[in-house]
Structure 1
Amino acid sequence: MRERENYVVFLLDEKRYALYLTAVERVVHAVYVTPLAKAPDCVLGIVSLQGLVVPVFNMRRRFRVPEREIGVADQIIFARTERRVVALWVDTVTGVIECDARDLTHSGNILPNLDYVRGVIQLDDGLVLVHDLNAFLSLDEEQSLDGALEASHPL
């Protein structure tokens, strides 16, 4: 019996990226993001998700996609890493795909040290880069974000 995986696919310009569906909590339309002083460059700011303060990441900066003005049609993916809930600002979510687990070519088999990418799925109409949320931030960025979040709501 083949193992199947589900992925949430999103776009940055015309490039397709994906997250494991099990990591995704919800997708919402663009909302106001409160700036967060002293946060890593890839952090746009923070939003509240049912009372939880969540950092919002600029996926364009992280994946080195050219910046563009943020639009009201953009979407935010709320997902869970091993350490925290995060919000990922993307152009649009196109849907969920299901693939055989063997259809994922792991990044180490393509090039070593492909930051933030777990692997690639080859579909009939092109490639989808599967994002590794747990490798998203370096240790320095994690510490910087933790400090910025603590400073934003001191006890």
Structure 2
Amino acid sequence: MKKSDFLVIFTLDDQRYALPLPAADRVVRMVAITPLPNAPGIILGVVNFQGRVIPVINVRRRFRLPEREIMLTDQLIVAHTARRAVALVADAVLDVIAGSEQNLIATENILPKLEYVEGVVKLTDGLIFIHDLEKFLSLEEESSLDQALEAS
């Protein structure tokens, strides 16, 4: 992550998380999610976004948070990785903030086991983990998702 990147701040259960802004394409209101047979457990299903079928990632499951029903007030962060477009379910998207060298901490030495955490941003009211969308899905999950999408 570059020291000057902007970050999209979103919440799950009142806890804040961040994604680098260049990975996020758009934030939209919740829409109906169509189940995708044989998809990995982290995938809730797919949505039609501007004519494209996009898999929806269950961020709660990835972060090991308590499951809850999807609500109409939830939001989808439509984003992209090098391989595909994805949508992430968030309780709310709060803000876009500028990261600066003074408030960014690399995590490889502090939290090496959290492979999908790219860094931490220090704010006056707390810390926010910055997540690496490229590492949200394991290679096995990517392969399983590819097979499920091809079969549908």
Asked if these proteins are the same fold (TM beyond 0.5), I'd say yes
In the aligned structure 2, how far is the partner of 1:113 from the partner of 1:102? 24
The answer to which of 64-73 and 97-106 deviates more is: 97-106
Q: String of CA shifts for 1:114-142, please: whole Å, max 9, x gaps.
A: 13111111110011110100011111000
- What's the offset of the Cα at 1:102? 4.7
- What's the offset of the Cα at 1:5? 1.7
1:4 and 2:4 are equivalent in the alignment? yes
Aligned-residue CA RMSD in angstroms? Answer: 1.4
- Partner residue, 1:61: 61
- Partner residue, 2:149: 149
The answer to which of 102-111 and 12-21 deviates more is: 102-111
SS in 1 for 2:142: helix
In the TM superposition, structure 1's runs of 4+ consecutive aligned residues that sit over 4 Å from their partners are none
SS in 1 for 2:128: strand
- Partner residue, 1:19: 19
In the aligned structure 1, how far is the partner of 2:132 from the partner of 2:35? 25
SS in 1 for 2:47: strand
Tell me, which stretches of 5 or more residues in structure 2 are unaligned?
none
In the aligned structure 1, how far is the partner of 2:23 from the partner of 2:101? 16
SS in 2 for 1:108: coil
SS in 2 for 1:146: helix
Identity %: 55
In the aligned structure 1, how far is the partner of 2:85 from the partner of 2:107? 24
- Partner residue, 1:108: 108
Q: String of CA shifts for 1:90-121, please: whole Å, max 9, x gaps.
A: 10000101120452212212121213111111
The answer to which of 5-14 and 99-108 deviates more is: 99-108
Tell me, which stretches of 5 or more residues in structure 1 are unaligned?
none
- Partner residue, 1:127: 127
The answer to which of 130-139 and 3-12 deviates more is: 3-12
- Partner residue, 1:41: 41
Question: What is the TM-score when the length of structure 1 is the normalising length?
Answer: 0.93
- What's the offset of the Cα at 1:10? 0.2
Q: String of CA shifts for 1:54-86, please: whole Å, max 9, x gaps.
A: 000111001111111211100000001111110
Q: How many residues align?
A: 151
- Partner residue, 1:71: 71
In the aligned structure 2, how far is the partner of 1:77 from the partner of 1:105? 24
- What's the offset of the Cα at 1:151? 0.6
- Partner residue, 2:93: 93
